[in-house]
Amino acid sequence: MTTGGLLLVHAHPDDETIGTGGTIAHYRRRGVPVTVVTCTLGEEGEVIGPRWAELVSDRADQLGGYRIGELAGALAELGVAQPYFLGGAGHWRDSGMSGTTAAPREAESARHPRAFVHSGPAAVEALAAVLLERRPDVVVCYDPRGGYGHPDHLRAHRITMDAVETAAGNGWDVPKLYWSVVDDGVLQRHIDAMVRDAANLPDGWRLPPPGELACVPSGSVTTVIDIAAVLPAKCAALRAHATQVSVAPSDRAFALSNDIAQPILPEEHYTLVRGRPGPAGPDGRERDLFAGLPGSPGDAVAE
């Protein structure tokens, strides 16, 4: 078993690619061990088009199993050998998103005995055990808002914060912990560019209304990872999540089942919340999640 490296905690298949896919590919190209912990199978997800319509939870309820294959394909594009499901595949179930037109179904899903929102101390213990086994140098999770507020994202944030504390009391104090975020200034610049190029977006896609896409103030971003060199891998991984994600032919935008266009950014953003910041660039931000750690692998080259 390889220890050290980077460990990321995500709620559903596709979250790892949308928010952190470039970072995963960036570090795998440098030979850094990467573990992606996924907490549910995304059983309550909506699907794109009729091809997979019968898989959803209120029909055949086979979407979760299908998404295991999508996740494996996406991770392969990013350089990760296999998925790792918290507690084992299917142990906890997608809780559904509250406050949408599907609220009655989703409220029912949240009452499911395996719903992740009700995972309790068991999920913290399971993740702490992974941390003690893998001993990662860097852990990444969502911010306290869960990015865009999905209940499972909020829960993934909470269990990660608690598991890091539990692991610290049992032999592994994670050197650096980050929240995955999106810089509002960078996002807006790329939305503006997408607006100018709107004629080239796929038919049926619409531009995001103000405030639609989750982001944080630029001043709260401590670390930026340049992923321009691995954007093809990220786009391929996005395409692997075909039930959930469509990618524009330009590879500059993607959309979920709501057909709202989102720019594919050439960098990914983080906020350091545990550990000491390492050397920073002229803008005061780190350019490596491992900055300041002994033997930082950030600039290493994979064999």
DSSP, collapsed to helix, strand or coil, labels residue 267 as strand
- Looking up tokens 């319509």, which residue turns up? 53
Q: State how far the Cα of 39 lies from the Cα of 27, in Å rounded to an integer.
A: 22
User: Shortest CA distance to 270 belongs to which of 19, 66, 97?
Assistant: 19
- Looking up tokens 């990444």, which residue turns up? 140
What letter does residue 89 receive in the DSSP assignment? T
Element counts in the chain: helices (H) and strands (E): 8, 10
The answer to whether 12 is annotated as binding is yes
Q: Are 142 and 177 in contact (CB under 8 A)?
A: no
The answer to whether 112 is annotated as binding is no
The token pair at 73 is 């394909």
Q: State how far the Cα of 238 lies from the Cα of 20, in Å rounded to an integer.
A: 11
Q: Are 83 and 106 in contact (CB under 8 A)?
A: no
* C-alpha angle 263-267-268 in degrees, rounded to nearest 5: 95
DSSP, collapsed to helix, strand or coil, labels residue 270 as strand
Q: Please give the radius of gyration of the chain, using alpha carbons only, rounded to the nearest integer.
A: 18
DSSP, collapsed to helix, strand or coil, labels residue 143 as coil
Q: Are 27 and 34 in contact (CB under 8 A)?
A: yes
Q: Which amino acids are annotated as binding site for Zn(2+), given as ranges?
A: 12, 15, 153
Q: Which amino acids are annotated as binding site, given as ranges?
A: 12, 15, 153
